[in-house]
Amino acid sequence: MIQRSRLTPLVALLVLVTAPAILCLTAAAAYGQGVASPGPRVSLGTDSRSGHQSIRIAGRGAPVYPTVDLACDGKRWTLTLTRSEDGAVYELSRANVELMLNAFECRLFLPDQEVALAREQLWGAWAGPTRGPGAPTVLIGQVVDVIDSNTILVNLGERSETVRYIGVSSQENRRPPSPEAVPGDAVQANRQLVARQQVRMELDTLERDRDGRLLAYVYVADKMVNAELVRRGSAEVMTVQPNVRHRDLFVTLEQEARDNRRGLWADPSEPTTPTSVEAAPRPVTEARRGVAPENSWACPAPQPIKGQFTTYTGGGRCVYHLPDGDRYSATKADRCYATVEDARQDGCVASRR
Which residues touch 352 (CB under 8 Å, ≥6 apart)? 169, 172, 173, 174, 175, 176
> 260-289 as b/e, with b when 16 or more CB fall inside 10 Å?
eebbbbeeeeeeebeeeeeeeeeeeeeebb
Q: Evaluate whether 291 touches 300 at the Cβ level (below 8 Å).
A: yes
Q: Evaluate whether 230 touches 236 at the Cβ level (below 8 Å).
A: yes
Residues annotated as catalytic are 164, 172, 213
Which residues touch 246 (CB under 8 Å, ≥6 apart)? 166, 167, 217, 224, 226, 227
The three-class DSSP label of residue 128 is coil
**CA nearest neighbour of 81 among 95, 92, 96:** 92
Which residues touch 182 (CB under 8 Å, ≥6 apart)? none
